Amino acid sequence: MTISFDQLITFITISLSVLAAIGSAVAFFANRPNQKADALKTMSETIDHLSNRVAELETERGKDHQSIVKLESKNQKLEHLLTLCVIGLNELSAQLDNAGIKPTWIPTAELKQWTSQISK
């Protein structure tokens, strides 16, 4: 699967938005206040980490690339991360569907497209 850097950044941005929505849903459905706080804290830390990583990659992209091999390695790692995100979103979507919850914040059409790209 070959993904351009711009597609990669767009997908990560959408994934971060979905993760934020998932965090909000987890906090909303949690019964205890400390569970809500823990869920939001964990989601916030994850989003911060991924946002920082995207910013680092954008900074690296703007610089002269001294080693294409390193960048390709990082792209492969990001493609793997994105694959895991799509798999996780599919699983979350299936579990929510089984529970009778139809979230509007999961981009179903895009998710099907991403899933088909991953399976190639």
**Enclosing domain of residue 99:** 5-118
Say how many C-beta atoms besides its own lie within 10 A of residue 12's C-beta: 19
pLDDT band at 1 (very low <50, low <70, confident <90, very high): low
Query: For the residues 8-26, what does the mean pLDDT come to?
Result: 72
What is the longest distance spanned by two Cα atoms in the chain?
51
| Placement of tokens 């139809």 in the chain | 102
Query: For the residues 56-62, what does the mean pLDDT come to?
Result: 68
Report the domain count for the chain: 1
State the Rg of the chain over Cα: 16
Q: Cα dihedral sign for 27, 31, 33, 39?
A: negative
CA 93 to chain centre: 14
Report the percentage of the chain scoring pLDDT > 90.
Answer: 0
Output the CA angle 26-20-23, nearest 5 degrees.
15
CA–CA distance, 91 with 60 (Å, rounded to integer): 33
Q: Higher model confidence: residue 24 or residue 98? A: 98
What pLDDT was estimated at residue 71? 57
What pLDDT was estimated at residue 97? 75
